[in-house]
Chain A
Amino acid sequence: MKARLVIIGGGPAGLAAAISAYDEGERDILILEREEVLGGILNQCIHNGFGVHVFKEELTGPEYASRYINEIDNREIRYKLNTTVLSISNDKVISYVNSDDGFIKLEAGAIILACGCRERPRGAINIAGSRPAGIFSAGTAQKLVNIDGLLPGKEVVILGSGDIGLIMARRMTYEGARVKAVIELMPYSSGLNRNIVQCLDDYDIPILYSHTVIDIKGSDRVECITIAQVDEHFTPMLNTAKDIECDTLLLSVGLIPENELAKSLSVSLSPITGGAIVDEKLMTNVDGVFACGNVLHVHDLVDYVSAESILAGKSAVSYLHNSVQDNKAIEIKVKNGLRYVIPQYITVDNDYSEIILRMRVDNVYKKIAINVRLDDEVIISKKKQICTPGEMENINLRSELVEKIKKAANVTVELVKWGE
């Protein structure tokens, strides 16, 4: 079996990439989605806040998804549901299974990885204690409540104050559970300010900063958890240990790009983002394999996932029409407070179309500028009142600047204080 463009994942990234590829003229597109429906994680994100940039209105997750699914159906873009991709070979042969087709090897001309991300589980953060029922990742709890109509528990503690943890604090409260506390390791939350207000303050749910969970007790079911304050090295101070009785612990402790398939393909991954290392066309080190959305780096706003994925779709179509040139690549170095920048490389060629740099800082910084520097020349300086790790930043490089960059020897993105 063959398909010119295969997109792995039918969530917001895959959908936007498919629509973009179609609008660039490609007609042989196939989306492979492992769930029963398109829409990805948006189907369980029943809260508001999506689409403020793209649609200039505030939508719930399912509403945002349905806009894109309608566009897919209008264009009659093909997709297979209940289809799991098992592996991809280096020459872009995709092995997948579903109960209609059985086991299939599909030759692809170009592949877009849009697989999203998974949640960090308890084992990865080594919380001591027994292993009773009642410990869920926040996203699993969200699926159980919003998709299956089940209540995971009645007396809840949530570890992690990222947006998923905050949203679930409100969700569980709405369904009749008592959320006793949100425990946060850092001295600040990585979630949106509005969520602290509308998910915690509104329901008098306390948030304990600089705390962590150090023990879980209970044999069949969680009975109680022990929390403790942490010091500046994040080491629990045992003299501050306190028990909280509960029957449920929700873990909102980080998202990890889902790159098992990328590994099967020998795609080079960045240890910082957990996603592929890509150039300005979002192509990985494997020719004709692209990545976009949460599989590339974990996003905060789905609007930026859609924007990024439009580029992946365009790039994949361009790849299918043109042979790959063996061009030099310039690494984009990051310094001074920037955790990472996507893309990590820029190819030196004659294409000077606009490049968007997306990045995260590694701490909370006030009154700083994000500078793009070519050797000693600062070509862009974006001033910010405040930058936090929980908010992805972007810098648009116009084509005149892209032309300059492609002729430079060194490109660095860094933070500087105002006035420096």
Chain B
Amino acid sequence: MKEMICIICPLGCHLSVDDSDSKDIKVTGNNCNRGIAYAKAEIINPLRTVTSIVSVKGGDIKMVSVKTTDQIPKKIIFTALELLKDIEVEAPIYLGDVIIKNICDTGVDFIATKTVLKCNNKSH
């Protein structure tokens, strides 16, 4: 019997997971169905949404924030972050633009969560 906290939404339900039968994992303590899927994944292959930043060239701000379009395996988080480290995207970047397609063959992309327009050289 494992105790865990669901991270799918800010409620953070306390879940009790009976994984004695790996083909029929039983979950209690959830307030919605997403908690059941979370608990099962957490036992078999934990998944996470990842948010980070990427350098922008020629934009009105220096960094654009990004997120994964879906959860990716927890064990590849740092590999995924490495993909963002040495790249620079060119302004304009629009909210929703794909920054990295198909992270490590997961079918999940990194997309921009901000719009960054071209720097218009305003003086301040």
Contact = CB atoms under 8 A, between A and B. Distances in A.
Contacts of B12: 192-194
B63 A48 contact: no
A148 B48 contact: no
B40 to A, nearest CB: 16
Contacts of B113: 46, 59-60, 62-63
A149 B81 contact: no
A47 B51 contact: yes
Contacts of B77: 174
Interface string B1-22: 0001111111010100000000
B74 interface: yes
Interface in A28-77: 36-37, 43, 46-49, 52, 58-60, 62-63, 66
B1 to A, nearest CB: 18
A196 interface: yes
B39 to A, nearest CB: 12
A82 B60 CA distance: 14
Nearest to B53: A146
A194 B49 contact: no
Contacts of B51: 46-48, 60
Where chain A touches its partner, the secondary structure class is mixed
B23 interface: no
A219 interface: no
A174 B115 CA distance: 22
A48 B67 contact: yes
Nearest to A48: B49
A106 interface: no
A145 interface: yes
A198 interface: yes
Interface string A141-157: 00001111100000000
B114 interface: yes
A311 B80 CA distance: 43
B63 to A, nearest CB: 5
A58 B65 contact: no
Q: Max chain A CB contacts within 10 Å: which of B6, B12, B50?
A: B12
A196 B5 contact: yes
B59 to A, nearest CB: 11
B61 interface: yes
10 contacts: A43-B114, A52-B9, A52-B10, A59-B113, A82-B124, A145-B53, A146-B53, A148-B63, A194-B5, A202-B48
Interface of A: 36-37, 43, 46-49, 52, 58-60, 62-63, 66, 82, 99, 145-149, 174, 192-194, 196-198, 202, 301
Closest CB pairs A-B (n = 3): A193-B12, A46-B65, A194-B7
